[in-house]
Amino acid sequence: MMTARTRFDVTKRIAVITIDSPPVNALGADVVAELAAHVDAVLANDEIAGGVICGANGIFSGGADIHGFGKPAPAGPKLRDVQRAIDEGGKIFVAGLEGIAFGGGLELAQACDYRVAHRATRVAQPEIKLGLLPGAGGTQRLPRLIGLEVALEMDVGGEPISAERARELGLIDELVDADVVDAAVAFAISHATTGRRRARDLDVRGDAAAIAAARERAEPPERGGLAAHRTLDALEGALRLPFDDAMTNERALFETLRESEQSKSRIHVFFAEREAAKVPGVPRSGHKAKTAAVIGSGTMGGGISMALANGGVDVTVIDLDEALVQRAKETIARNYDATFKKGRLSQEEMNRRLGRLHFATSLDAVASVDLVVEAVFEEMDVKKDVFRKIDERARPDAILATNTSTLDIDAIASATSRPERVIGTHFFSPANVMKLLEIVRGAKTSPDLIGDALSLAKQLGKVGVVSGNCDGFIGNRMLAHYRREADFLLEEGATPQQIDRVIREFGFPMGPYAMVDLAGLDISWRVRKRRNAERPPPGRYSKVQDRLCELGRFGQKTGAGFYKYEAGNRTPVPDPDVEGLIRATAREAGIEQRAISDDEIRKRCIYALVNEGCNVLADGIAIRAGDVDVVWVYGYAFPAWRGGPLRYAQAVGLRSVYDDIVDFQKRHGVYWTPSPLLAKLATSGGSFFA
């Protein structure tokens, strides 16, 4: 016998229908079927005056059960049938909201006549984050309740809003601090005889100008904006079509998106992100860091300190130079103030976060903390020296973490007496903003510690992905191949601005040369010098970036890198001097320049990522293909609507990708040796995600 996912009670002639399907009361087929039966029972019983729909365990509903996406629709009633029954049934229905009311959950609430909510509730229509649009009236009832312009922001932006804001807009009718169900029942009783208020009967406030303006702001449909444009089509339907016709139009648009590659890719990332937290042999951890020390007060150290403070951790920022400590204190305060002035942080929350930050000039400050994060220069000798000193001072049970982006975790851990307590926590810059935390396990890192690091990522609101230990781990190991091909293309005749444009058109927010100018050419130069000393490159090596660094052109911070920059302006300006340097370097290397097509640039840059991603997977550095994609979507801004490098390759066709790589090998040599894993899957018709 199947377990019921809902409950039905009657109090004071009002039926209370409770969704009880943990963890988020998702509206799966079984829940919807039970809701439909309960609504029919309310409508058929003359002793019942109306209904309240609420959720158990402090949550109304997180929306549709997306595990069903991509599968044939099960038989039985749909959410739209439940809404239609409420619409046409002639009895009052009130939604009692608490916790979250997202997606289909909020659409269900919109079909009720009124909405009562706990003050701490958040509501959202986030379907666009999955490449979809609200498919159960969220583009039709919402603009009738709150006006077209704000509905547009919710449907196209997808971000949650507070219950307070929803009340101001008219989406919520009453806010309470006490029991929501009791309040909703009382509200239903008091309004049962005063008339219903169906959203479908309200006029849409607003005009097509807001939709036209939103179309101008949206990415083109073919560059990731498909869901935004189809959502705007549905909202436009709310203006010009009768309600029932507009609902039919909305559903047709939803189905089009559900079959789109963009939506499938975004849903892939959604599930891959959740799967990344499951590591074979690693126990789930509920560990929460309460205190931490961050060693290093530079850009990364300051950003990591803010990320920890944002996650509720008391942090001590340590630097031996008092002047650097003072500068870090001022920079962090300035960053928080900027966020506050943009309205993204309240004064009270800003003060709380600043209150968690402390500063010190002695490593003795690590003695009592739960977590130590080293964020000093990316040089092995410096890091090993820091870890020797940490080892002498830190608690035996402290987590000892290094923020290295490329260096050998085992070599760093060897400087301590407890390598099982050492782990890599590779934050991405700016660390207080970027969502990825690449967690690097050493040979002796304990499984419990890996679980604690994954728990830390969750505590900080980040996506943790576990990587094996190799030069560059998952992300930077692949990045080196992407940048190599871009540099080779420069020498062969492309310009920085052509390559950057092609990569932007592919969907990245920045191309490789605008990006390296932003990050600083000196950072990757230091890594190259270390790598080349340890392991000279086996074949062709581009000297273009090294030559720029030798000229002191480190990017935006020096006013010149691959581009020129005007004072106070971050806009890249093409520089003829750089193009001359590239030509001269190519002549020295005996490379004859030629016209290079956009298609070749795209394939060589992206397929270099794919090929090395396959090697990362085959070598066991990444546990699963989805982990590679998550690292690149959240750490390197690979377009989520393409799903990550390996999901993209699967969509293009592994045979096609493999054939191009074989052709590149013939023309460009050893660097293009196809990954054996790619060759195997391409020739067998296999999949990374089987």
pLDDT-based confidence at 120, cuts 50/70/90?
very high
Please indicate, yes or no, whether residues 487 and 442 belong to a single structural domain of this protein.
Answer: no
Q: Where are the beta strands (DSSP E) in 48-89?
A: 50-55
Confidence band for 535, pLDDT divided at 50, 70 and 90: confident
Helix (H, G, I), strand (E, B) or coil at 123: strand
3-state DSSP helix/strand/coil % of the chain, to nearest 5: 55, 15, 35
Do 249 and 393 reside in the same domain of the chain? no
Q: Say which residues have a Cβ less than 8 Å from residue 591's Cβ, sequence separation at least 6.
A: 491, 492
Indicate whether 270 belongs to any domain. Answer: no
- 114 phi, psi to nearest 5 deg: -140, 160
Does a structural domain hold residue 635?
Answer: no
Domain boundary among 414, 442, 467: 467
pLDDT of residue 70: 64
Confidence check: pLDDT of 174 > 70: yes
Q: Is pLDDT at 634 greater than 70 in this prediction?
A: yes
> Using CA atoms, how far apart are residues 485 and 509, in angstroms rounded to an integer?
19
Is residue 411 included in any domain, yes or no? yes
pLDDT at 581 (0 to 100)? 96
82 lies in some domain: yes
Residues 450 and 517 in one domain: no
Residues 39, 68, single domain; the answer is yes
Same domain, 44 and 153: yes
Whichever domain contains 97, its CATH number is: 3.90.226.10
362-375 pLDDT, tens per residue?
999 999 999 999 99
Residue 615 belongs to domain with CATH number: 1.10.1040.50
Q: Are β-strands 563-564 and 573-574 bridged in parallel, bridged antiparallel, or unpaired?
A: antiparallel
Domain presence at residue 265: no
Q: Is the pLDDT of residue 1 over 50?
A: no
Residue given tokens 């009720």 in the structure block: 112
Q: Count CB neighbours of 26 within 10 A.
A: 23
- Identify whether 551 is part of a domain: yes
The CATH code of the domain that includes 357 is 3.40.50.720
Same domain, 228 and 298: no
- Neighbouring CB atoms inside 10 A of 29's CB total 17
Domain span at 298: 291-467
Q: Is residue 641 part of a domain?
A: no
**Shared-domain flag, residues 452 and 505:** no
Is residue 146 pLDDT above 90, yes or no?
A: yes
Read off the amino acid at residue 433: V
Same domain, 663 and 531: yes
Outline where DSSP puts E strands in 212-290.
none
Sign of the CA dihedral with 213 first, then 217, 221, and 225 last = negative
- Claim to verify: residue 505 and residue 435 sit in the same structural domain: no
**Residue 627 placed within a domain:** no
Residue 440 and residue 520 in one domain: no
Query: With 0-12 CB in 10 A as exposed, 13-18 as middle and 19+ as buried, what is 531?
Result: middle
Q: Domain check: are 458 and 515 in the same one?
A: no
Residues contacting residue 565 through CB under 8 Å, at least 6 positions apart: 517, 556, 559, 571, 572, 573
Domain boundary among 415, 450, 467: 467
Q: What's the confidence (pLDDT) of residue 527?
A: 78
pLDDT at 3: 64
pLDDT tens for 650-674 read 999 999 999 999 999 999 999 999 9
Whether residues 585 and 439 fall in one domain:
no
Give Cα separations from 521 to 48, 376, 550, 552 (angstroms).
Answer: 72, 18, 10, 9
Count: domains in the chain:
3
- Report, as residue numbers or ranges, the catalytic residues: 405, 426, 438, 476
**Residue that finishes a domain, picked among 217, 244, 259:** 259
